[in-house]
Structure 1
Amino acid sequence: MIDSLLIANRGEIARRIIRTARRLGVRTIAVHSEADQGMPFVLEADEAVLLGPPQSYRDADAILAAARTTGARAIHPGYGFLSENAGFARRVEEEGLIWVGPGADAIAAMGDKIKARNLMAAAGVPVAPGTEDPVAGVDAALEAVAGIGYPVMVKAAAGGGGMGMAVANDEAALRTEVEKVRAFAERMFGSGDVLLERYFPRVRHVEVQILGLADGRVIALSERECSVQRRNQKLVEEAPSPAVTPELRERFLAAAVKAGEAVGYRNAGTVECLLDPATGDFFFLEMNTRLQVEHPITEMIHGIDLVEQQLRIAAGLDVEVPERTSGHAIELRINAEDPKRFLPGPGTITTWVEPTGADVRVDSGYAEGTTVGMAYDSLMAKLIVHGADRGDAIAKARAAVAGFAIAGPKNNLPFFAELLENDEFLSGDYDTGIVSRMR
């Protein structure tokens, strides 16, 4: 096993990685910004290194310097920041360090949505009707949409996390959105490349957890339902998906393995798909070349620790993953935001009381007395519950939400209390539009 690990991230995912590393006897090194001085993950690590201003988590030079000075053997990037930066992954390995993630080539291949889409199509993974090359401009978009049909999704090729996407229902909207998305993508991602894909008004977001093993095999564990979203960003996930039949599950898992094999995938990753509930057809959306925020629900139903599996794969060790799942798990993302409009609501936490119980888990990045600022994502914690079945998990989620007390910053606990009583959600027959229908 790796003996020392630098965690190039912050908040709840840094604490999550530290927890597993400590259990395995791995020395942990936290890097942190000036804004995060005194945060729980900094205090819990065996060693901590100050990087600099808030944006320092993207400073590859500073992170690699910290690894050298602390004698770190490996780097775990968590999610966000540099986790899907192929250049950083390559530099880590050039320094002689172990990168706890997929190879740089796999990250690069999946980082461009157009290249990823074409690669998946060639591997036999279903893709939605769309463009195979970047759209050169409005005229090219109008020509392409003739073969795709309205409505279409205009997407930034280098985008991610639900950013850089817009729906066009007609020619006037397409003319506007192509230029808007191109400008946004150039500003945010450094690339103005845009693609078009058929937009499905009623669709579910289903993803599959994969592990690329040290011996070259790719295995698919199970699926997660991620359709409760606001602004194309997830709020709630559950596993297994209430929309997936055993036959459909086999198709999902087989496609996910093909996707991983197509890029020689190693370590943990997620193959995200859109499912048309009317037909049962699904289409490749993207591959996340890192650990997902929602990984705990897969852990709960499989009885495994995915961070441990990541470390074992990176160290070249064997991995044992139970194929059978047990029960149902739900994750709620507790954000510092208004529960109605979902606008950021930062502030200093004056009360923080987490719910407890055998089937309740809280992965938190904050504690009483800490401050949620505007420099980072609004995620404060993840509330995860496990039940014998979906109904049991929902009942436990209701109790856990009621038992979670937060004061200071705004939070979305009231939204979850509403969702867990919503007839559409309770039926299991919902799609990505459920939040907009609740508002």
Structure 2
Amino acid sequence: MIESLLVANRGEIARRIIRTARRLGVRAIAVHSEADADLPFVHEADEAVCVGPANPAQSYRNTEAILAAAASTGAQAIHPGYGFLSENADFARTVEASGLIWVGPGADAISAMGDKINARNLMAAAGVPVAPGTTEPAADLTAALAAASEIGYPVMVKAAAGGGGMGMGVAADEDALRTEYDKVRAFAERMFGDGSVLIERYFPRVRHVEVQILGLADGRVVALGERECSVQRRNQKLVEESPSPAVSPELRERLLAAAVRAGEAVDYRNAGTVECLLVPGTDEFFFLEMNTRLQVEHPVTELVYGLDLVEEQLRVAAGLAPTFDPDALSPRGHAIELRINAEDPKRFLPGPGVIKTWVEPTGEGVRVDSGYVEGNTVTPFYDSLMAKLVVYADTRPEAIARARTAVADFALTGPKNNLPFFTELLDNQEFTSGTYDTTLITRMR
């Protein structure tokens, strides 16, 4: 096993990785910005290094500072968490060139999946269903209009280098496409340094279902079930559950097989997620993207499979066999995750501030992965995620009931927060029936 691990991230995911590292006897090293000096992950690490000011570009995305911290602390490996540098192929290559172990997939796999058009083409060649769309970037508006005419409106205009729900627009007709193409292209150039645009069929009513994969050290790729991620605002997830209430055993078999083919197509190692769009009522699904990292929502998979995915990541990176038998995977029960954000529960706009009260719910089947404690300040410099409230029970109705109780028991004051939204959601008939799709929040608001 790896002996010392630098966690190149912050907040709840850094704290969560550190927890597993320390359980395994691995020396845990945190890096942090000046703004995060008092957060729990810094104090819980065996060693901590400040890598710069609050601006992520000068701290959590500062490759030189992070590698210098690794060198000064004698770190053997780097775990990037999610976001920041986690899907940066150049950083992965630099880490390995420095003689360190990269806890993640190979840089070639990250590169292959980082460009949405290249990823679509690779998946199609591997026999993974893809939505109708362009096989190369729409070089200009004329090309975009021609592609949309062939695909059929409405279409999704997407930044080829985008991710996390950013750099996307919907066009119902030619006039809308003229506006959205320019808007998405400009955004992509500004945010990703790459203005390449993909045109793809847009499905007004769709579900977002993803499959957790793990590329093992021996070269095999295994699928660890699916997660339903259709409760979204601005194309970003708020709730995830496993298993999906929309997936039948036959569909699950096809989904998982497709995800394994996707991983095998890029010689995938370590943890990753194959995201798909599922058309309600048809059992038809399409590849959306592959996230070449640990997902925010990994706890729901851990609970239904009885695994620690961070431990499995470390074992793969060290060349070790997994803790489980890949030929005898047996999920059980139902898990739901609610993302507790510092945001207005109506419009979902960020609302940072000092945490005056923070009392986490406890009890059977309740897990809280948090990045803060009472007295900490949620700053405007980073994502608004404060904690993940995860519940587990034998059945979905029991898990929903447990979630209602846990939300009511979560005492949180200071920053704005979305706990009131979850109270509303967990009593929403469309959600409780399991028939919801990605437009649920729009109808609720």
| TM-score past 0.5 threshold | yes
Deviation at 1:147, TM superposition (A): 1.4
Task: Give the aligned residue type for 1:35.
Answer: A
How big is the shift at 1:279? 1.3
* Residue matched to 1:32: 32
User: 2:347 maps to which residue?
Assistant: 341
In 2, the alpha carbon distance for the partners of 1:27 and 1:279 equals 49
2:385 aligned with 1:379: yes
Within 1, Cα distance between the matches of 2:273 and 2:193?
Answer: 24
Q: What amino acid does structure 2 have at the position aligned with 1:22?
A: R
Matched ranges for 1:119-134 at <5 A: 119-134=122-137
Listed as ranges, the matches of 1:419-434 within 5 Å are 419-434=425-440
Aligned twin of 2:173: 170
Of the three residues 399, 421, 426, the one matched with 2:405 is 399
Counterpart for residue 356 of structure 2: 350
TM-score by length of 2: 0.98
Task: Give the structure 2 partner of residue 316 of structure 1.
Answer: 319
CA distance in 1 between counterparts of 2:417 and 2:147 reads 43
SS of aligned partner of 2:60: helix
- Partners of 2:284 and 2:323 lie apart in 1 by 31
Cα separation, 2, equivalents of 1:176 and 1:197: 16
Per the alignment, residue 307 of structure 2 pairs with: 304
Match of 1:250 among 253, 274, 283: 253
CA deviations over 1:3-49 (Å, ceiling 9, x no partner) = 00000000000000011001100000000000001110000000000
The separation in 2 between residues aligned to 1:59 and 1:129, in whole angstroms, is 38
Deviation of 1:286 (Å): 0.2
Using the alignment, how far apart are the partners of 1:124 and 1:341 within structure 2?
Answer: 40
* Aligned counterpart for 1:196 among listed residues 189, 196, 199: 199
Q: CA separation in 2, counterparts of 1:328 and 1:415?
A: 21
Kindly provide the amino acid, as one letter, of the partner of residue 425 in structure 1: F
Superposed CA deviations along residues 35-68 of structure 1, whole A, max 9, x for unmatched, are 0011100000000001011221000000000000
- Counterpart CA distance in 1 for 2:438 and 2:423 is 19
Counterparts of 1:209-228 in structure 2, within 5 Å, are: 209-228=212-231
Q: Does residue 75 of structure 2 align to residue 69 of structure 1?
A: no
**Letter matched to residue 114 of structure 2:** G
Which residue does the alignment assign to 1:368? 374
Task: Name 2:146's counterpart in structure 1.
Answer: 143
2:118 to 98, 115, 120: 115
Paired residues in the alignment total 439
Question: How far apart in 2 are the matches of 1:381 and 1:19?
Answer: 15
Cα distance in structure 2, aligned partners of 1:203 and 1:377? 26
For 1:38 and 1:411, locate their aligned partners in 2 and report how far apart those are by CA, in whole Å.
21
The residue type paired with residue 95 of structure 1 is S
The 3-state SS of whatever aligns with 1:114 is helix
What's the counterpart of residue 423 of structure 2?
417
Identity of aligned residues (%): 78
CA distance in 2, matches of 1:347, 1:295: 27
Partner AA of 1:414 in structure 2: P
Question: Are 1:82 and 2:85 counterparts?
Answer: yes
User: Partner residue of 1:42?
Assistant: 42
How far residue 138 of structure 1 moved from its aligned partner, in angstroms, is: 1.1
Shift of 1:145: 1.1
Quick check: 1:99 aligned with 2:102?
yes
Q: Deviations over 1:100-151 (max 9, x none)?
A: 0000000000000000000000110000000000001111111111210000
1:296-337 per-residue CA deviation (whole Å, 9 max, x = no partner) reads 000000000000000000000001336111100000000000
Give the whole-Å Cα distance in 1 for the aligned partners of 2:355 and 2:436.
34
Q: Does 1:57 align with 2:60?
A: yes
- For the aligned residue pairs, the C-alpha RMSD in angstroms reads 0.6
